[in-house]
Every structure is written in structure tokens, then in C-alpha cells.
Structure 1
Amino acid sequence: MTSLSYASATMPSADSLAEAKMLFKAGRYTEAAARCRESLGAGHAVAESLVLLGSIGTLTGAAKESLPLLKLAASLAPKNISAINALGLAHKATSNYAQACSCFEQVLALSPDQTEALRNLAHSQIGQKNWQKAQAVFAKLYQQKKLSGKDWLPYATSLHHLKRNADAVVLLSQFLKIDPENADTWYMLGMCLYHTQGALASIEAYKKSIKYNPKKHEAYINLAAIYQKHANTGMAAQISRQALEADERYLPFQVNYGLALAALGKSHEAVEAFKRYIDAAPGSYRCHSNYVFYSQYLDYASAKDIYHRHNEWNLRHAQPLQRVWPKHSNDPSPERRLRIGYVSPDFRAHSCSWFIMDLLAHHDRSAFEIHAYANLERTDSITEKLKAEIEVWHDVEGMSETELARTIYKDGIDILIDLAGHTARNSLITFACKPAPVQVTWLGYPGTTGLTAIDYRLSDPWLTPDGTPEIFSETVYNLPRVSHCFRAPDAPEATALPARENEFITFGSFNNFAKISDAAVRLWAAALNAVPRSKFLLKSRDIGSQEAHDAILDRFRRAGADLSRIVFANGSERQAQHLSQYGLIDIALDTFPYGGMTTTCEALWMGVPVITMAGDRTSARYGASVLNAVGLGELVADSPERFGEIAAELATNIDELEKLRSGLRTRMAASPLCDGIGFARAVEDAYRDMWTRWCQSRQG
């Protein structure tokens, strides 16, 4: 009797599967799985047992191991909706979204009214980032009033990616009535509101997101970025500090904090923040670009140190890609028509646009086919003007760096020009892939990129004179003239000299605060001390921040300046108003060691002479290049003492200063700095020479 009792207790029962289902519903997955195996061992309801066992695996994190079971079930019962759906869920759990979509589509083909299959299909399409298809499926669920709590946010996300932000706002607002403390929903609402109602509305949504989840990292980042963009750097820094207090281990907060610190004039601290990030995440090439870029602002960094920082970027991020450089099959004919590609994130209302417009307008189209690769977050009226000057326009926003490299290679570009260097949204990894046989950097970055994949840096003898201690990874190609061409903006005429009415000289600087180093303030203090009763007007979009205000005044204090002679003015983002503010100053003083390029050109165009000091690297020689181009080389100092002497000489002779002001625009317009045709021919000659050198290297 004992042995018979034992046998009946261990023999699989026909009810094992039913028991497994009950245990499954109760969440007792281990026991349910055991009963499924019993059922399979007895050969009872094999397909159904496989489906349940596989589903348990998917739910308990073993989806990969469950796939063979579910594939077998689906093959045994090819029209079994439960088997196909369970297989789709396993594929979805292993991020194989294409196969998951295929499974759910099969289910719907067998049973079109399967709500869960529709829901699973929509979520899998989100996984594939197939926003259009996902949105269509979610819309069907919405119309049927069958959206579940987990559907609203991905539905809105698909609308956001399709740039249907207004529809997303309506949807998210409805869901917040159901779940008003959902931090993720408030975050997505902030993103959509920014594109529909502006910064103020999005700020409130991001704050709500943080309120309901103090560790909602993305909300802090976007909130800080908005404050930064809209000239409230004090709040950007405050939000970044708040974020770091919430989670100091989340490294991206260091990026926002570094950018805010730089805008506050605290470049030293900004570089330290970026360094903390790249030390912890050495593969982050974008933050590493921030680090090397803002190192250019440091007055204690030598030319050699600047080079080594850039070279480290190259060794870490670019050099490993050399093994995948393609073999270029471009026709090595020196005189043929060349395809030129310009790569930039700044084909918009950006300072770089003023220096490329005339080159594009005057390119010889019989000799050059012009392509532009535009990595733009958004376009504007300037984008349209630039498009009109370009034969082939490529919108590459959203394209990965390697995808862009493949596109450029397939386009057969002969000479590829980087216009951004290590500035925001750069494409240096694309250049590191060497998609074109000849690669050049120009315009948007002061000095070397560090990339051995870039062959040339286009420059001039004033930016990189013979004997410069500056070190380049590229071959420096000096044009026989200034290496920039300024397209003067629409602007009011120069005003009368303010000193006539004020009876004192007003110096000024309109450069951003990141450029205001201790060394720059010492130069400015020397000018103030050399000219009694003079004042210094400092204008910036970031001046509203008390933190920035205090940091700058502290620099003047340490430089020995009379703080009562320092005047602050809020900067306007509107170009006409910005330019009209040059009517408040008599003489502009350049920053150092990162000088102004656009601001120097704007000041001259508005009749305001600029005093600059030439340093040991490109960033400290922009003023020298521009002033020599317009015949004002005598305003370039070679020492701090000389800087003060030039200020005194200019300020002492009011009649000459007034005469210079009235004729400066005409003088500038007639100079090489505004000679678009001459500039285009010089650049094209350089391109042709570079190309010829490459052709000769092929023959060797």
C-alpha cells in the first residue's frame, strides 16, 4: 500500500496545467513552472504548457531562455493566439522589436479586435522608434477608449517625435487629470510645451516633474538648459546645484553646471566640472569637447598645454577609428570640378553665418559643387538665405556621426570642411572616420582640433605667424590675406562720439562672460588707470545674474580698478538693439586670451575702434587679424603696458577719435575683411592646392 500511495503522489496528473494556471494567477511563478514541467513530462497539453512556462520565464527575467519554448509552441499551434502573443512578448523583452511587431501583427490578422495585441504592437513600435506606426495604433486605442495607464505617455512621446506637440499637450493634460502626480508625464509635457507655448510654460511643467520625483534627472537637465538659453545663468547654476544635491553621482549634471559656470564668467570652475565628468566617463567625447573648448578660455594654460588637451581627445576618441578609414576612389584629376562639403550645426542665426555667407555667394560653381551638411535643431530665416547659396543641402539632424560619415563618403565629397571644431553639436567623430580624402577645419574654432584625421587648418599670417609657439595636429595653411570675410548686418549708422556729450571716455566690452579672465580684467584696469575719469561699460545677456555680477566685480577689485567706474548693461538678443548699444561706448577693449571675433567686427562696423592684445595662440589673435585687415594694426598691443598706452593715446585725441568713428564703416567695407569675391578666390585657390597635393600623393 505504501508503494502504491507513493506512486500516485508523484505521477503527473491531468490537472497539473490547471493547477499551474491558478498558481500563475496568484503570482507563485516557481510553483507554476514546476507544474508546467509536470504537464509536459506527462505529454499533456504540450503547446499550452509551453506557452505558460515560456510566459513565466518572460515575466521573471528569463525571456531569452524562454524563446525556444515559445517558438516550439507557436510551431505546434501556428494559429494559437496565446502562443504567438507570448512569443511576441518574449521578443519585446529581449528588445527584438521587429520580431515582436511581426508576432503581434500575426495575432491581429487572426483576431483584429485583440486589444492587448494592439497595445503590445504599439509599444513594440515605440521600441523600434517607428513613431508614425506607433502613433496610428495608439490613436486607434484612444478612439476605442481603451488606453490603459501605461499607454498615455508613449502615445504622447510618439506625437512629440512627429512634431505634433500641440496634440501631445492635449493628450498629456487629459492624463494628468487621471494621474496628477505622474513625474514622467509632467516631464514630457514640459518638452511639448516648450515647442508650443514657450519656455515659461515648460519651466512650470519641469518643476512639477521634479516636485513629484526629486530624482527626475532629465527634468533638471532641461530646466537648467532653458535658463541657460534664456539668459538666466544664475538660475541655471542654482538648478544644477540642486540636481547635484539630489544625485551627485549622475554625471550629466556636471555638464549643465559647467556651462552655467562658464556663462557666469567662472571658466576655471567650469573646466573643473567638465573634468570631473570625463574622469568618471572617459568615453564621453561630447563632454570631453566641452573640456578642451573651455580650456581655451583659461589664462593660465600655455599653448603647449592647450595642444596636449586636444591631442588627448584625439587619442581617446578619434584615433581608434583610423582602422575603419575607407579607401577613397575619388578621381585624382587636379583640375576637375570638385565637390566641397561644409559641415556645421550653425547654418542659422549664429555668428558663424556672417562669415560664410559671402564665401558661399561667390563660389565659382563651374569649378566647385557645394554641399552643406546641416545638423540643425531648428531652422530660421538665415537658414533659408544660406540654402539659396548651396547646390546640395543635406539635413542631417538626428543622424549618427557614423551614418553621416557614410553619407558623405557615398556623396563622393572631395574636400570636407569642419566649421565647428569642439563647439556644441560638432561632428568631429564624423571627421575622425575620414569620409573625404581631404579634410579641413576653419572658422568656428580657435586653434587645433587635435584630430590627425583633419589635414589642414585654414588660417592667415596674423592668426598663426611664423614662429608661433602654438602647436597644431593639422597642417596650417595660411591664406595670403585675412582668413575671414564679414558679411555686415543691417545696422543703424554709427552715432556721434559719446565722449563729446559725456565729457569722459567710455570703454566697453560686449563679449560673453566666459571670456572675461583675470588677465583680461587686468588689461582693462590698465586702460582705466591710464585714462582719468574714464568709465568701463560691460554688456552681456548674462548680466542679470547676481552671481555673475559679483564674480566680475571681484575680478576688477583684485585688478586694482575703481569699482565706481564700472557700469553694467543688460544685453539684448535682438540684433538691431544689440548693435545700437555700441552708441554708448567710445572705445572697445578686447578680451584675453580668448578674444572676440564677431564682437570686434560689429564694433568696427558701428564706428567703435577696438584695442586688443596679441597672445601666443589663435584665440588670442583674432583681434590682430581683423585690425590688420582694416589697416588698424597700431591698435594691437604686444604687452599689458602697451595696451594701456594705446588706450591713453586714443582717448587723449578726441578729434582724431571722432574722425576715426565717422569713417570706420567705409574703411572696413573697402578692406579685405569685407571683400567677398577676393576671399572666395583665395579660399578656392587653397582648396585647389590642397587637392593637387592629394592627387600627387596618389601618383606616388
Structure 2
Amino acid sequence: MSALAEFDAGLDALRAGRTEAAIPLLASALVQEPVHALAALNLGMALMDLGRLEDAAPHLRQAAAALPHVPEVHFRLGRLAHLRGDGEVARKGYDAALAREPGHVASLAGLAVLERRAGAKARAEALMAEALLHAPEDSGLELEYAQILRETGAEDRAAAVAEAVMAREPGLGQAGLVWVDALVASQGAAEARLRIEAALALDPLSAARVAGLASLIETMEGGVAALPHWRLAEALAPEDGQILSGLGHCLWRQRLHPEALDLFQRAVRLLPNERKLRVALGDQLFRVHRFAEAATTLQGAMRDWGSDYRAQATLGLVQVSQGLHDEAIAAATAAGGENEMLLRLCGIGPYHPELADAAILREVADHLHDALSGDLPPAVLPPREPRPRLRVGFLSPHFGTHPVGWFTLAGIEHLPRDGFEVILLSLGERAGPHAQRFRDRADRWVVLDPSLGDLPLVERLRAEELDVLVELGGHGLGGRVRALRHRCAPVQIKWVGSQSASTGVPNIDWMLTDRWETPEGFEPYYLERLLRLPDGYVCYDPPAAAPEIAPAPWQRRGYVTFGCYNNLAKVTSRVLACWARILEAVPSSRLVLRTHALGDAPTREAFVARAEALGLPRERMDLHGAIPHAELLAAYGDIDISLDPFPYNGGLTVCESLWMGVPVLTLVGGSFAARHALSHLSNVGLPDWVTFDEQEYVAQAVARAAAPEKLATLRASLRGRVAASPLCDAPRFGRGLADALRRAAQAAFA
């Protein structure tokens, strides 16, 4: 096909709305005739309309050089810069288009948006009004105009404009959102809601009005109350990108990630030039463990729109989950500000082979503390005497089947009822047998919407009039520890839940710990005071349905099998190098790994390449993705020795391995996260499985593998040993926890 024929076919595809199909035709025409300026222009516009901004840029520049008289070329270059946040270049492009076509509507609108964001509201209003003279019923322009009116104080006019758009296009979600914003600004949230509900009574099938109500309810009451309204709006307008985005974000905040992912995928197809949607899509891919796709999506978003802190922060979490520690730190550094500090302190730093040093983590905590203290008003709690029966609140998103649940449930259940009033503050509703046990112990079970802002959350927590507040989420996903900087209770304690280092949060008084996690002399590494329990800092609640311990696999295979069921974030290059030395020294031995990331094919192949480069042969590794928990427990029957990763040790995986009869070899570091296994192994009487440098770690693994009969003997006795140890002694742990909480309260009320 000739260049002209392909160009014409490409234009036909564009006219028919088949943008994807037009791109190869226009690209082929341009290859055949590199100077075909119209092919370059249309190809650039098509790529831009699909959100492929970086790919579009060279074609648009080529067209601008050849067609300087065409206004659309200059507008497109201006719009490209606008989307990428370069207002100065954007303005030049819009001005150039208007110089060639004074009534160029899109350029007038683009300038109006720039002026609005610069605070020149009167100029913005005049430009948008002029654009509307040329396109009087363009809904997008009218809604931009309504937003400008609202910001200039003309809320009633703004609402009227949005309402006129809804009357014409009842399925346009953006109209409903703008309408609600204007009503709230004019009348307040309560009055606005009454007006919206009255309008819906007359027009119940208006997707725009339903979306507006959903948005308002989410602001007033949270996502749980809003979700049915978002779902109705989506049912009424399943092809509206803004409604899909609203529902997706609501699902995201309720941690309904698979469903949210579908919504964001659909929304991105409809609104390909929305940066926030593309980043949100990357985040959801991460949450469902599609790590390689998540990284590609986030990197593509930054390639097209430029770097931003949220995309970089999410990319850092994706990369550390793939075991790419240096890349993750680079992303954290690019994120900058508080995000960088949080990632270095919690999400990435404690996993990094060099940056997990306790002194480095304390330095980061100090910086975060300073940042969070800057605008902190003094906390004023009503003075009161401590109650004889302490009112203790536990705040968590994880009161259920979760590591936090398994480590805290038995201890909370055994707090003496006559001495403690237990308030469980659940960030979101929870179901299942573990959640029911938490409810049964609670004197009050309070469900808090996880989408609440910090200050509304603080108000709710203060209303409970707690003596002690124990936070169980940290800086991890769903955790709200930063809200506690506003002082919600006289005593505030950090325990479990992303407990990897000092929190860096002002007004956190204590960290609940033990003598192995933080022995005497470790105080300088923590901003919080160290509240040591007499045994371990957690109490493991073994699963009642755990299968019986399987015979030692070496007995049927004739060789020793090592294993690790921790996430790849914990498997550093130094860990891989040690494992390679162990396999080399133990002929015929194998290594079994199981984790979510290994179920993601591109991540798995990249991991294999890294492992082989460090001396771990592919043929001696068995790599598996995630499986249901009961099957995971049974899979410990496949290994003889668990190799704990470092510097971030296993926590729950150590306890589960021991319960299933598999001893754990660990290497201890200085940070909190680097001492979890030390605490658990010490509590069950296995301190001889603890090492303190890499040479000893390798030597011990080799020596243990050389005595498989001893492994079999230990395997047969290990569950009984663990069950009888302080690690699982809930009444004993409950007494220790009660004493520690009383000590902290007495120090505050003295």
C-alpha cells in the first residue's frame, strides 16, 4: 500500500473513532515518506489521545517544523506540555495557536485552566467565557467554567451551569461532581445533600446526580456508606470514566483491590490522559501482586507525564517486593519529602542490606519526627485520673486473619476483664473466625471508616476517652500511626503491624518490645521509650486446623531440602549469595521458595537471573507462587530446614515453620526487624539456631544438613515444644501485657 493510501486509511480510522487501528497505518505512511508532515501531525495527535505522550512528542515537533502555520500543531504541543506540568511551554503553545486562529477554542480553554491554577480567576473566567462563545454547548468547557465560577465565589451560578449540563447529559458523571462541589460551597454539606436527594426523587436514573450524592456521602460518612451509590451510578453509566474512577477509588479505600483494578482498567481506557488514574492503576496491580505489570504501568506513566512523588513511591514498593532493593531506594529518593522518609523507615529501608542499620533508621526517624512536628498544634486532652479499670484501645486494620491478628489475639483475649476495658477500633469491618474472637473479647467493637482523614479520625479516637491507645498498623498499608501525632490518649503505644524500627511519629510514648528485640543499650535507636515484656513481644496463636507434621523429606528423598516462604523483599543479594554457598557445600540439596511475587512470571524470571548470577543454579531451586494458607502450612512438609532471610527476618513465617516441625536458621542484625526470629527462637529454647554473621550462617546450615537424623528427631518434637513455650502461652503473655500497660499508664498519670 502506498504512503498516500495508508495515510488516507489512517484518517478514515480516526474519523471512525478507531484510534488504535489508525496508528500503524499513519506510522507506515511516515516511514515511507519521512517528510509527510500531515502523517506526522495525525500520528502525534492519535498517540496523544491514547495517553502515549512521550511517543507523540517527536511527531508533533516534526509537524510543527513543517507546518508552522497550522494552529492545531501549536495547540497540541502546548497541551502536551500542559499535561506534563510545564505551564510556561503550554502557554507559549496556546498563544501560538491563537495567533494563527484567534477563536481556537481548545487553546482558550487551556489558557483559562492555566490562569485558574495560577490564581488569576477573573482572567480565567473571561477566557472560558470567550471559549464558550465559540462552542456554547460544549459540556467539558461548561464544567470547567463552573469550577472557575465556584472558585470566584459565584457558587450558585456554578451550580446552575452544572445542572444545565446534567439536564442535557444525565449520564455525565463529571457534571454531578462539579454540581455537588458548587452546592456544598454555597449551602454546606447537609443542605446540599437534601437538595441532591430531592432532585434524585424526581430523576432517580440520573447517573450524574447519583455520582454527586455518592461523592458527598463519602466525604460526610465514608466509603462504606457511599459504596452502594457509586455502584448504582456505575450501573447507570458503565462507560463514564469519572464514575468508574470514583467507584474505583472508593473500592480501593475499602481494600477491595481486585474489583478496584477492573474499574481502573476500564477508566484508563476511557480517560487515557488522566495521570492520577494511570498511577492508581499501577497501585492496584501492585496490590494484587502483578508486580511486573505494576512497574511497567508506573514507569510508563512517568515516561509520559514526568516523575511525581506518588508514582515514584509506589514504584519503590513494587520494586522492593520484587527484591530490587537498590532500584527501590532510588525510587524512594526520587519521591522525596515525607514519602522518602516513610519508605526508608518502613517500606524499603529495613529490607535493604546496607540501609537497615539501626543507627541509620534512627536518623531517618528523627527527620520524619521533625517533619511531622512542624505544624503540630499542642494537644489538649481533658485532665482526668486513671480509672481503676484501664480503658485500653487497640487501633488496627487487621483484626482478622492476618499476621497482626495471629500475634495479638491471644494476648488481648487474656487481658484480665476486671482490670481492663478493651476497645477494639477496627479500620474497616472484618469477617471470619479470628475477627469474631476479637469481637467476643472486646468490651466495645468500633468500626472506623479507613478513608477517614487524620483529623476526623483523631476526633473519633479522642471521643472514646481512652487511658491507653495501642496502634497496630504502623506506616504499612492501612496503618494510621501518623494520626497519633495529634495525641488521642494520655498514653500511646506502638505494637506489631509494620513494627520494623522507631516510628518517627511525635507523641508515640512507648514501643512494646522484649529483651531480645531491644536488649539493654538499644535505647538510642528509638525515639519511643522501650516497654519490654517479660518473654517475647508477641504471642503466637497457632491455627487450629494446621495439618499434622509430615515426616522429614530427606528420609524419602535422600537429600536435604532447604526452604524459605518469605516475600522477595526480604531476599537480598547477600542472602542469595549465602544460599548459593550453602547449596554448593551440601551436594544434591535443593532450595524451595514460596511467595506471591514468584507467581508473577516476569518477576520470577528476573529473580532466577539474579540468583544464577550469584551462583544459585535454576535446576536446584523449586519456585512457587502463593497458595491458600492451609496448603502453605502443609507445604512445610517439603523442607527440612528453613533459611531465614536477612536483614529483615521472618516473623509469622518463623512461627509457622516451627509449628510445622521445621527448624529455622536465622542471622541476627541490629534493627527491630532484624531480630524477630531471635525473639521467637529464644522463646522456644532454640538459641543455638541463631547466628550473628554470614560465615556462621552458612557454616551452621551446612553442619545441620550433615546431621539429618538430628533434624528428624527435632522435627518430631518441635510442635509440642513450641506449644509449651512462652511463645504460645497466652495466659502468661496476657499477664505480662497487663503489667506493661499498667506501668505505662502509671508513668503517664503519676
Range of TM-score over shorter length: 0.7 to 0.9
Pairwise CA distance, 1:546: 3.9
- CA distance, structure 1, for counterparts of residue 264 and residue 381 of structure 2: 49
Which of 659, 665, 677 matches 2:713?
Answer: 659
Contact 1:511 1:599 in 2 (8 A): yes
Q: Name 2:417's counterpart in structure 1.
A: 365
SS at the partner of 2:531? strand
Residues 460 and 478, structure 1, Cα contact 8 Å, conserved in 2: yes
- Please give the secondary structure, in 1, of the residue aligned with 2:425: strand
Per-residue CA deviations over 1:356-414 (Å, capped at 9, x if unaligned) read: 11112111111111112222376555333312211122222233222332333343211
Q: Does the Cα contact within 8 Å between 1:448 and 1:472 map onto a contact in 2?
A: yes
SS across alignment from 1:388: helix
1:344 maps to amino acid: S
> Which of 552, 555, 560 in structure 2 is aligned with 1:497?
552
Question: What is the letter of the counterpart of residue 316 of structure 1?
Answer: A
The answer to whether the Cα contact below 8 Å between 1:441 and 1:454 also exists between their aligned partners in 2 is yes
Match of 2:150 in 1: 93
RMSD: 3.7
Which residue in 2 is equivalent to 1:248? 306
Structure 1 residues 462 and 241: CA distance shift in structure 2, 3 A: same
Q: Residue 394 of structure 1: SS of its match in structure 2?
A: strand
Q: Distance in 2 between matches of 1:588 and 1:95?
A: 65
2-structure distance, mates of 1:338, 1:619:
30
Q: State the shift of 1:610 in Å.
A: 0.5
The equivalent residue for 1:684 is 738
1:640-651 equivalent positions in 2, closer than 5 A:
640-651=694-705
2: CA distance, partners of 1:207 / 1:695: 53
Q: Aligned to 1:522, which of 540, 565, 577? A: 577
Contact 1:125 1:133 in 2 (8 A): no
The 5-angstrom pairing of residues 595-610 of structure 1 reads 595-610=649-664
Give the drift of 1:468.
Answer: 4.2
After the TM superposition, which of the residue ranges 150-159 and 338-347 deviates more from structure 2? 150-159
- Give secondary structure in 2 for the equivalent of 1:588: strand
Q: Give the Cα–Cα distance (whole angstroms) in 1 for the partners of residues 509 and 462 of structure 2.
A: 16
What's the CA shift string for 1:600-653, capped at 9, x where partnerless? 111111111110011112111111110111111100011212112221232122
Identify which range, 636-645 or 606-615, moves more after superposition.
Answer: 636-645
**Aligned equivalent of 1:221:** 279
Query: Contact (CA 8 Å) 1:159, 1:165: kept in 2 or not?
Result: no
- TM-score between both structures, scaled by the size of structure 1: 0.76
Give, as a single letter, the amino acid of the residue that structure 1 aligns with 2:345: V
Deviates more, 1:425-434 or 1:365-374: 425-434
Write the deviation string for residues 14-35 of structure 1: whole angstroms up to 9, x where unpaired.
xxxxxxxxxxxxx9xxxxxxxx
Deviations 1:207-256 (Å, cap 9, x if unpaired)?
Answer: 34323432223432332233222221111112112222221244322232
Residue 93 of structure 2 corresponds to which residue in structure 1?
Answer: none
Q: Distance in 2 between matches of 1:258 and 1:619?
A: 19
Whole-Å Cα distance in 2 between the matches of residues 412 and 223 of structure 1?
Answer: 40
The Cα shift of 1:122 comes to: 5.7
CA 1:518–1:249 in structure 2 vs 1: closer, same or farther (change >3 Å)?
Answer: closer
Distance in 1 (CA, whole Å) between partners of 2:178 and 2:643 is 63
Aligned partner of 2:197 in structure 1 is 136
Alignment of 1:289-688 (within 5 A): 289-293=342-346, 294-301=348-355, 302-318=357-373, 320-321=375-376, 323-332=377-386, 336-376=388-428, 381-397=433-449, 398-444=451-497, 445-468=499-522, 471-489=525-543, 490-572=545-627, 574-688=628-742
Q: If you compute each CA radius of gyration, which structure gives the higher value, 1 or 2?
A: 1
Q: Which residue of 230, 252, 259 maps to 2:317? A: 259
In structure 1, what is the Cα distance between the partners aligned to 2:429 and 2:316? 22
CA contact (8 A) 1:135 1:159 kept: no
Contact 2:424 2:442 in 1 (8 A): yes
The structure-2 alpha-carbon separation of the partners of 1:584 and 1:391, relative to structure 1 and needing over 3 Å to count, comes to same
User: What SS does structure 2 have at the residue aligned with 1:352?
Assistant: helix
Unaligned runs of 5+ in 2: 1-102, 104-121, 130-145, 164-169, 171-175
| 1:152/1:175 contact within 8 Å kept | no
Cα distance in structure 1, aligned partners of 2:152 and 2:199: 20
SS at match of 1:393: strand
Contact 1:413/1:436 (CA < 8 Å) preserved in 2?
yes
Distance 1:595 1:140, change over 3 A: same
Moved more, 556-565 or 224-233: 556-565
- Deviation per CA, 1:158-202: give whole Å up to 9, x if none: 6985657577556545545xxx5x533443465689999x87776
| Letter matched to residue 502 of structure 1 | R
Provide the secondary structure at the position in 2 that maps to 1:538. Answer: strand
The answer as to whether partners of 1:225 and 1:236 remain within 8 angstroms in 2 is: yes
Shift of 1:488: 0.5
Displacement of 1:57 in angstroms is: 11
Cα separation, partners in 2 of 1:691 and 1:580, compared to 1, 3 Å: same
TM-score (norm 2): 0.71
Gaps of 5+ in 1: 1-26, 28-55, 64-88, 108-114
- Alpha-carbon distance in 2 for matches of 1:520, 1:372: 39
Q: 1:458 to 1:618 in 2, by over 3 A?
A: same
Identity rate, percent: 25
- Counterpart amino acid of 2:735? R
Query: Matches of 1:140 and 1:61 in 2, distance apart?
Result: 37
Structure 2 distance, partners of 1:656, 1:457, is: 38
- In structure 1, how many angstroms separate the alpha carbons of the residues matched to 2:177 and 2:203? 11
Map 1:56-67; keep pairs closer than 5 Å.
Answer: 60=126
Alpha-carbon spacing, 1:413–1:560, altered in 2? closer, same or farther (3 Å): same
Q: Distance in 2 between matches of 1:400 and 1:608?
A: 44
SS in structure 1 at match of 2:591: strand
The one-letter amino acid paired with 2:561 is T
Residues 486, 673 of structure 1: 8 Å contact kept: yes
Deviates more, 1:498-507 or 1:444-453: 444-453
Partner SS, residue 225 of structure 1:
helix
Matches of 2:178 and 2:271 in 1, distance apart? 27
Residue 608 and residue 470 in structure 1: after superposition, are their counterparts in 2 closer, same or farther (change >3 A)? farther
> Structure 1 residue 126: deviation in Å?
6.7
